[in-house]
Structure 1
């Protein structure tokens, strides 16, 4: 019933935003006003972008209008237009941060251009956060999703994986098979990959460690709700139970469970492809060790037996990795192994970051000196976490548990994050769209979210309003203040993705997408350009606008669990902070 209420609330909010006022314009001019379509905090920064402007247009006015009474409530002047090469457009900022009254509003730019309506209130991300976490439930493999928990998106079980073959290149006995049920589908396909699941699960565990009170038992309407455990920990455990099936007898960890090539556009129960246990590598083993050690620490007060098993498996994985320090996973026709495998490769050639991450997690779980961290173990530079670069996850754990480490280790970790945060602040201040520097590679939408994550740790080290207000403004990009004019989260905003590259959503026969999924976003590589030609191609060659809301656009419109994990922890930070006073610093 709770999920039904959530869906109704989301739907009602969307309908309210889209139809509450006759002032909303559906013209292209209206889409030239890019703002956070979900809304703004009353006491936070409030800026919108006007892109239909010439560089010579100065002193152009805008006004804020009450969408219900059509009364002007604020008037201001657009900033001087600036050119952004990545978007190939001139843009000016409408800043109405001084206005703090909650309500429903539209922006009108001089000349009569009206925005879509948006809200100002103190709970703008409550539903979006809830929905973004629940996407992991919708990604569950091997079980049916019933209407009580999945609402209209209920479905039959698929990929039970009670007995699947090992890929022949693993060298197992002929006809040997294993069981590997459960876990989350990785992205728009039906594969399950330890490497990408590693950073995903770690970010969600970190969300619990930092903001666990946001997700009490019963808050997410899961099948496990009512068991006395945090719903977030319940959802994570579903993935961890699959992790446990991925360890070989010698301690090494298999790379993935997928078919040899991607499945078609079918529901899980209708997929005829045969999934295999594929690969074994240093990266997958260290991802496993790090996540299971982290889980052992956080689940100790919930289920001691489960936590102990996680730790035992983590230590066995570590021992295998020490003996196999550079085993890469490769596939495809040019590889010496797995030539017939065409699913996600997640190739990684450097494992120093994985060793640091796993070692840090094991030290915190055991306090054993053999896992102790020295200052020489830390990376030379800070990199935000991705599946291919995980050293920041170690730095974050050191910062959150600094009392467990030598002072010079924790101080270096903190300085690295603080220096990265200063860089982010400078980039945002100098950017026409008030975002950090983006290079528009695959999955570009996590760039501002990772910036929020970095700033949240700087704020943990030493709280300052600028970290919070900048994070609030960076989230505006995700929900519509970007050159495409899209809110990149399904189901949220007046213009959000309707056709994600996601097999279940393509095949379920339900017109609206499952709410809460973050799509990959603009991708300058446009690797799917050929397949999109028959559907009209991309709307622009500009990197910041290289996005297409079409099921065929796997390069810009796919979803992935690691991207949603980044959204979850960033929104959790803002939700955790929303009760505090948020003010735009002078």
Structure 2
């Protein structure tokens, strides 16, 4: 059996998934996504076509000028087919060559995002995966971890060596069956951030045992790991064990077959305590709305976070090293300023206590693309999300400048070659997670200032792992024409199922080739081509929870932030929109009127379950403002920018959007206007008083532009109907 699997893998390797010369995201796009394909300059072509499933040409265009991409030593040209917004199935064609197929769909990333999240369920410890939820990948429970030994390195007076403790649940870290606090922290945080930032994306069930319990499945999944993390804190002093592990890696067996091996909690570390503190502080605020379901849990998590912080302050330099008898993953980190900064930021947001703000600023950790060993960016990311609600202590302008500076640097890398933010130096172990974390930070900047180049570069980050890369692979199991088939993942290797567990992101190209002695030769030493789709390859083809987490985040963010197709644009004439403005006028507009209009909008949003922010102004004065539960703080900036446009034009922001688009212009690049201060998206409607003109605005943000506009118009019609005040 092993010989057959090896032979199949070698044939796949020899054939090469990247035989298609046109490189494209082989999963698909949202209608309004930035859409690019990469074509070798050697083809000598100057133009491209996009063809539908019947072979009909639906769009054609000129290829870009040629440019070299150093990571693969290729000279390439780019086909930009962003103008393709009609839903359907397509291919890019250059001469006689065609790309892999892809779709354009309104819910283009739903299946991908759901699978990336459900991969965590497939890696649960201490749970039997039943056919109802796991399908062909059902398996018995593995590693109950209800009787775990305290290792000599973790021994204390209260818990001497050999003490038995219970530490169940949690996720297996990667292709192995151990559980590590530091890597678990960034993974859990990223899922919680995805829910906190884009709650509407996660309202659907993904098919896990908790589905249908009234809680978003992403939170249920995060809780499986948070419950385990709580067991890793020593109640006697607040310190946190670094990992729960075997002394050595398990063999290539299913989890239940490996469960007889003794398991240990191993030494406390400063990094584990701080990552734990940051993650628990984040969880405490995300869980707070669910106190009725889990009474006291959010407060328990915050108390645990503060206890871990106190331990870390008392033990600021406890760097983890594997004891001599432990040879599993180390996750050692000697640079701890970033962990202190992250934990301080999350505790400041959770408590408002200025000592945490001072601790954050004292560390002043550099803002770089996040990774398990460099987590400062996570703190900046949370501060940016909560910047409108922060108590004095950390300057909002500083947060915005730092994040924009990183995004600007990343976006510059996306100007040539494969048009991705990834440079040769970034192609390391887990390079696919690097580019997705780059995308995540680009999206933070886009949420702050709406710079289109940041959203486009983030889209390219996702496109890269879905096929627009030098290898041609779709690096997510179960997706695309050439998906990864042989990940280094023990359940996928040992379960006897031909297809690997779906939804896992492979680590990706890695010129370090640390597994070269155990594997067939890599096809190239060039960074972007140094990849093997082979189960032996732990350096390029392993999976890991901290690599899947940014895949979940980026798919959710793009689904939420990419402008939706303006289906109304072709049918809503400017005359119709002007008629709305003429009909929906007031005889008077005072404070009481503003409150009544705001209440009308709130009532409608509640009935329709719309997660929006509502604002009513007269002049520059805000007379009414309410954010619905779960609304993003980013809505405030969108409201500001849309209101500025109404003040500039005297028309609804949706009118200007339609006017520009129907004139062939770009609504995100209005001539003469700084788009950091203006937004031509629907949702801001002028308050017009008869005989006076425009005196204010009624604005909604949080939905696609046409829907924001429709919500405002419907509420105004309700208010101004006969018999209304």
> TM-score higher than 0.5 here?
yes
Distance 1:251 1:123 in 2: 44
Q: State the secondary structure of the residue aligned to 1:301.
A: helix
Alignment of 1:455-494 (within 5 A): 455-494=442-481
Alpha-carbon contact 2:341-2:365 (below 8 Å) kept: no
Distance 2:216 2:104 in 1: 30
Structure-2 residue corresponding to 1:426: 412
1:327 matches 2:321 = no
**Cα separation, partners in 2 of 1:170 and 1:265, compared to 1, 3 Å:** same
Structure-2 residue corresponding to 1:366: 351
Alignment of 1:63-462 (within 5 A): 63-68=49-54, 70-110=55-95, 112-172=96-156, 173-216=160-203, 219-248=205-234, 249-271=236-258, 272-303=260-291, 304-331=295-322, 338-373=323-358, 376-377=361-362, 379=364, 381-402=366-387, 403-406=389-392, 409-439=395-425, 440-462=427-449
Structure-2 residue corresponding to 1:39: 28
Q: Which moved more, 1:424-433 or 1:557-566?
A: 424-433
Q: Which moved more, 1:26-35 or 1:91-100?
A: 26-35
Distance 2:46 2:17 in 1: 19
Deviation per residue, 1:536-579 (Å, 9 max, x gap) = 32111211011110100000000000111111111110111245
Structure-2 residue corresponding to 1:3: none
Alpha-carbon contact 2:337-2:365 (below 8 Å) kept: no
Alpha-carbon contact 2:421-2:438 (below 8 Å) kept: no
Structure-2 residue corresponding to 1:334: none
Distance 1:58 1:585 in 2: 34
Distance 1:48 1:465 in 2: 19
Structure-2 residue corresponding to 1:11: none
Deviation per residue, 1:293-324 (Å, 9 max, x gap) = 11111111213411111122111111111110
**Cα separation, partners in 2 of 1:86 and 1:368, compared to 1, 3 Å:** closer
Which structure ranks higher in relative contact order (CA pairs < 8 Å, sequence separation ≥ 6)? Answer: 1
Alpha-carbon contact 1:142-1:159 (below 8 Å) kept: yes
Deviation per residue, 1:272-294 (Å, 9 max, x gap) = 42211111100001111111111
TM-score after normalising by structure 1? 0.89
CA RMSD of aligned residues (A): 2.1
Shift of 1:146: 1.1
Alpha-carbon contact 2:419-2:460 (below 8 Å) kept: no
Distance 1:92 1:579 in 2: 27
Q: State the secondary structure of the residue aligned to 2:445.
A: helix
Distance 1:158 1:43 in 2: 44
**Cα separation, partners in 2 of 1:311 and 1:374, compared to 1, 3 Å:** closer
Picking from 529, 537, 549, the partner of 2:521 is 537
**Cα separation, partners in 2 of 1:345 and 1:380, compared to 1, 3 Å:** closer
Alpha-carbon contact 1:30-1:114 (below 8 Å) kept: no
Distance 1:375 1:364 in 2: 11
Shift of 1:367: 2.1
**Cα separation, partners in 2 of 1:351 and 1:27, compared to 1, 3 Å:** closer
Deviation per residue, 1:422-455 (Å, 9 max, x gap) = 1122111134444442421100012221222112
1:566 matches 2:550 = yes
Distance 1:284 1:176 in 2: 21
1:520 matches 2:507 = yes
Q: State the secondary structure of the residue aligned to 2:91.
A: strand
Structure 2 gap ranges (5+): 1-14, 567-665, 670-725
Q: Which moved more, 1:161-170 or 1:238-247?
A: 161-170
Shift of 1:466: 2.8
**Cα separation, partners in 2 of 1:555 and 1:375, compared to 1, 3 Å:** closer
Picking from 525, 536, 541, the partner of 1:557 is 541
Q: State the secondary structure of the residue aligned to 1:73.
A: strand
Shift of 1:372: 3.0
Give the number of aligned pairs. 546
Distance 1:410 1:377 in 2: 16
Q: Which moved more, 1:431-440 or 1:442-451?
A: 431-440
**Cα separation, partners in 2 of 1:229 and 1:44, compared to 1, 3 Å:** closer
Structure-2 residue corresponding to 1:17: none
Shift of 1:477: 0.6
Q: Which moved more, 1:466-475 or 1:521-530?
A: 466-475
**Cα separation, partners in 2 of 1:407 and 1:296, compared to 1, 3 Å:** closer
Q: State the secondary structure of the residue aligned to 1:382.
A: coil
Deviation per residue, 1:251-286 (Å, 9 max, x gap) = 100000110111101011001422111111000011
Shift of 1:101: 2.8
Alpha-carbon contact 2:109-2:555 (below 8 Å) kept: yes
Distance 2:136 2:129 in 1: 10
Q: Which moved more, 1:307-316 or 1:116-125?
A: 116-125
Picking from 37, 43, 49, the partner of 2:38 is 49
Shift of 1:469: 2.6
Q: State the secondary structure of the residue aligned to 1:360.
A: helix
Distance 1:584 1:358 in 2: 40
Q: State the secondary structure of the residue aligned to 1:108.
A: strand
Deviation per residue, 1:512-544 (Å, 9 max, x gap) = 112111110000101011101xxx321112110
Q: State the secondary structure of the residue aligned to 2:272.
A: helix
